[in-house]
Amino acid sequence: MDAERIPESRAAWFDDKFSRHPDPWRTRESWYEARKRALTLAALPRARYRNAFEPGCAIGVLSVELAPRCERLLCADFAPHALAAARARLAGLSHVTVEPRAMPHDWPAGRYDLIVISEFAYYLDTPECTALAQHASRALDADGTLVCCHWRHPAETWMLESAEVHRLFAAAAARDSLEPVVHMEDADFLLDVWSRDACSVARREGAC
């Protein structure tokens, strides 16, 4: 990562993008984004979760699709314009909360049985990404699921590569006895899922 190119305030850098365009990464209209969300949701080994956390939720497009699978969902972002859009999008869902939190420093207290890290960890530097991975793996319930999904192509010069992000998360997951349950190397993105319960979906349903 080229430290000289890192924005002085990443929150301001993101907020400027959202102030200039309500959906700067075309999350609502891009087939890439829709397909990635569908594959991410399909990779979740359980149909329902009790208490989920999605940091870096941006304008809440993935959050809307996660919400029906969760009894409670906490979404967070640090860009005010993104937060306002996410709150508006999720306003009708009483079991969803949207909070201003900067990762990894504002990691919430409590434990979760679903944590989704999607398309934002590579904006952190290596120590921050390492801390984020450790927070996520340690906050996971015994039957929990940790998801990590990131774009593989070059973007900003100061960003971490997606492979490095997933390596850091895999290392944290291994240290906390999480088992890999899904690993997908798409041409456009990496998708990994870990859990302490490595039993397959079919075995859970008694099909094996």
| Per-residue pLDDT reduced to its tens digit, 22-46 | 786 688 889 999 999 999 999 999 9
Residues 6+ apart with CB under 8 A from 189: 36, 149, 150, 151, 152, 162
Name the CATH superfamily, with its identifier, for domain 3-204. Vaccinia Virus protein VP39 (3.40.50.150)
**181: nearest Cα among 120, 140, 124:** 140
Please state, for a pLDDT cut of 70, what percent of the chain lies above it: 94
- Write the single-letter amino acid at 72: R
Residues 6+ apart with CB under 8 A from 85: 18, 22, 58, 59, 60
pLDDT at 10 over 80: no
- Write the single-letter amino acid at 131: A
State residue 4's pLDDT score.
39
Q: Please give the model's pTM, rounded to 2 decimal places.
A: 0.90
Q: 190 has which bridge partners? A: 150, 185
Please state, for a pLDDT cut of 90, what percent of the chain lies above it: 76
Sign of CA dihedral 15, 20, 22, 28: negative
Provide the CB-side half-sphere exposure for 132 (13 A, CA): 30
Torsion angle, alpha carbons of 168, 111, 104, 99, to 10: 140
Residue with tokens 């699709």: 65
**Domain extents in the chain:** 3-204
Mean pLDDT of 158-175: 95
d(CA 136, CA 113): 10
Torsion angle, alpha carbons of 105, 109, 112, 115, to 10: -10
> Could you tell me the end-to-end alpha-carbon distance of the chain, in angstroms, rounded to an integer?
46
